Amino acid sequence: MEYFALVVCFIVSLIMTPFVKKLAIRVGAVDQPNARKIHKNVMPRLGGLAIILSSLLGIVLFMPEPTTAWPIISGAIIITAVGVLDDLLELPAKVKLSGQVLAAIVSVAGGIQIEFITIPFGEKIEFDYLVSIPLTIIWIVGVTNAINLIDGLDGLAAGVSSIALLTISGMAISMGSTFVAIVGLIVLGSTLGFLFYNFHPAKIFMGDTGALFLGYMISVLAVVGLFKNVTIFSLIVPIIILGVPLLDTTFAIVRRMLKRQPLATADKFHLHHCLINLGYSHRQTVILIYAMSGYFSIAAIIFTRATLWGSTLVIVGLLITIELIVEVTGLIGENYRPVLRFMQGTKLKK
């Protein structure tokens, strides 16, 4: 059933995307090139509508657990409305954020909540609603924005999201979480169908319509499937899976705080910008970030199956990797290179 749903939604999205492209051009939902953007030509956006329609059709056709599905669908409709309006009208940042919070609140009201996390030795930390509700809202809004911010190159957000969805769905299957597995594969199939047209050189962009929807769906699936099921450090596993977009967002916030700029200020120092500045081509940059996302996903899978000491080694390895990525790419700044300087100093002494 799960794999049939994936194939059906892939085909539906593949067929639907060209029609959405024509619609985007007709209604004027196009992305104009500017100094901050990589693309040089006017591009139709709103492509995420194909992902959304295909996903919603799949959820309705293969409706797993209606009581869980409807709160997620309700939030998805709100987040879709925000994305479509932004692609058409370019909404102010505060309005977009308000829409994301509203979608998260609707999901939380329907029972999608981080009610507890697990820690080593099988211990469980339970949250009352005063902690659970704001924590879940922050998680949903944070992941939604992280996917949106990484949507800067052809196929980047769609590919990174696909890797995350594949990992979450695979874990859900192994844990017997049918709902998360089916919905995850439905959204994965829809995203891959769109990616056929979105990979470099892209014929259409997903726009905020697609990026916000994917971020929202990944965040709620993580709440339903990972926070409540993984036995060791349930809080860490979804963070590892989403390591690339979450780190890119975190360091974007750090950069703006160091420069004393508003958090909504746009810049050209995201991970994909930094890799292009290092001389990588558009396609090479996207594939490199795919590889990073795959690395984090594999680490998450190993983490869930390892002993406590094994899990600790995974975390140490990830922290070293993150530090090297930050220093090599200049995510915080070109002058921040303590580990690389130390390594160079050690070589000189030898």
Q: Could you tell me which residues are annotated as the binding site for Mg(2+)?
A: 148, 208
Please answer whether residues 204 and 155 qualify as being in contact, where contact means their C-beta atoms are separated by less than 8 angstroms.
no
Beta bridge partners of residue 44, listed in sequence order: 30
For residue 30, the tally of other CB atoms under 10 A from its CB is 16
Rounded Cα distance, 143 and 315, in Å: 20
Q: To 5 degrees, how large is the angle CA 207–CA 236–CA 169?
A: 55
Find, among 166, 165, 161, 159, the residue nearest to 197 by Cα.
159
d(C-alpha 141, C-alpha 273), whole Å: 24
Q: Which residues contact 98 (CB under 8 A, 6 or more apart)?
A: none
User: Hunting for tokens 């002494």 — which residue is that?
Assistant: 349
Helix (H, G, I), strand (E, B) or coil at 285: helix
Non-local CB neighbours of 114 within 8 Å, separated by 6+ positions: 127, 132, 135, 136, 139, 223, 227
User: What distances in angstroms separate CA 96 from CA 68, 129, 330, one per listed residue?
Assistant: 25, 25, 29
Measured CA to CA, the distance from residue 253 to residue 242 in angstroms comes to 17
β-pairing, 30-31 vs 43-44, is: antiparallel
The annotation places the binding site at 148, 208
* 189 closest CA partner among 3, 1, 334: 3
